[in-house]
Amino acid sequence: MPRSKKGKRGGNSSSKGRNGVRGESGVSDDDLASEVLSHCSSASESASVIEEGTGEVVDEQTAQEETEDKLKQCIDNLMDKSAKTRLAALESLRLVFSSRVLYEFLLERRFTISDCLERSLKKGGGEEQAAAATVCALLCVQLGGGVEGEEGFKILRPVLSSILIDSCASLSARQSCARALGMCCYVSASDDAEDLLKSIGHLESVFVGAYPLGDGTLPSVKAGIPALHSAALQSWALLCTLCPASRINTILNHHLPRLHACLESSEVNFRIAVGETIALLYELGRDIDQEFEYEDCEALCDSLKNLATDGNKHRAKNDRRKQRSVFREVLHYIENEDFTEEKIQFGIEAIYIDGWMRRRIYDAFKEVLESGVRHHLQFNPLLRDIFGLGPPLILDASVKASRISRTERHLFNSAAFKARTKLRNKVRDKRADVM
């Protein structure tokens, strides 16, 4: 079982995906993994766990052995001379890592995989670098927040950071590295002040390129850069949830006025990322001081109202709808501390997203795990620890038939969150001393 760290923010909540996305893919995890693994091996399709047509379960041991053989072939293919073969192997590992929990299998192969990923990041083309960065994030999620995850992050952080800040690197690779650096640091280095500050600094150095110039105007950027700015900003916001109070105060004073100005950006997705980050920073400020108030709050609310009611015809209809929905929520939170809670159901369990920090944490995992996020919520001890779910459930038919009520689940999650908050505050105080 993965060793996961205690004390991360995000304990009891459940969440909706970013901008209210609730749905997941209808493809089952086992079907997806079996299909993907076929890219790495010519083994018979009888390796799937469920026999087609009969629906009967085949021998689990045999299926497991065949799956592991295919995974070993994928890992071997990461060292192939052909870039096409390496890219196919990375894509296969991405889909399998996101749809299954493979801690025991990966534990003894983590150094081999980390070395292969490092080689792809250093020597591969832009597409290969982007794919390798995504697999880096998934590997950290698989290994959890213990020593094993930390070892992998120590190997991969320098090269992820190097590509992220390299203006000559592929934009897709830089964007993927931004998300991977945020996720890997959140999972594996939350108690390491040095790695945390370095990662925050590298992410900041990217998105500050969107901040106002000396004359107050926003800089013009080439196509593709706003997506990179959004990825870096969202990963930075994720890591802000780990910072101690002293660091949060510095962040609020420096970044809130500049993020406020970025609401005038012409790129809708970047504006939305900025709005959500402003709400998250507000929540962090109120977490430290219940009376926290941004000094130019009235002007900020005016900007949010304009965006929440934006009817400009030159914007796409879907963009306008998406923007209005997000900025109404941001405005309601800043004015009244209102947040629309969302329930995420998986199996007989559920988590509740009741704040902007919880939403950012859930969204970050969903961006990496995609349709596999609910499977990992059920079975991955790392995610279950972060969201306060306890050890994975082992249920028989009689237990499955007797579900506890929504109120009981919510009360349990609230109690777990309070306990985690006390522990987190102790950890943050210790981290503040180090910083």
DSSP track, 10-77: --SB--PPGGG-----SS-HHHHHHHHHTTT----GGGSSB-TTT--B--HHHHHHHHHHHHHHHHHH
User: For the chain, how many helices (H) and strands (E)?
Assistant: 19, 2
Cα(35)–Cα(251) distance, rounded to whole angstroms? 45
- Each of the 435 residues of the chain gets a pLDDT tens digit; together they read 444 443 444 443 333 333 333 333 344 445 545 555 554 443 333 333 334 444 444 566 787 788 888 899 999 999 999 999 999 999 999 999 999 999 999 999 999 999 999 999 999 999 999 999 999 999 999 999 888 888 889 899 999 999 999 999 999 999 999 999 999 999 987 667 888 999 999 999 999 999 998 887 888 888 889 999 999 999 999 999 999 898 999 999 999 999 999 999 989 999 999 999 999 999 999 999 988 989 899 999 999 999 998 766 566 777 778 889 999 999 999 999 999 899 999 989 999 999 999 999 999 999 999 999 999 999 999 999 999 999 888 765 544 445 556 666 666 666 666 666 666 666 555 555 555
Q: Rounded to whole angstroms, how far apart are CA atoms 51 and 413? A: 38
Question: What's the pLDDT score for residue 327?
Answer: 95
Cα three-residue angle 110-112-118, rounded to 5 degrees? 100
Q: What pLDDT does residue 42 have? A: 38
Task: Supply the DSSP string of 121-163, one letter for each residue.
Answer: HHHS-HHHHHHHHHHHHHHHHHH-SSHHHHHHHHHHHHHHHHH
CATH assignment, 64-191: 1.25.10.10
CA dist 332 and 340 (Å) reads 9
Amino acid 146: pLDDT: 85
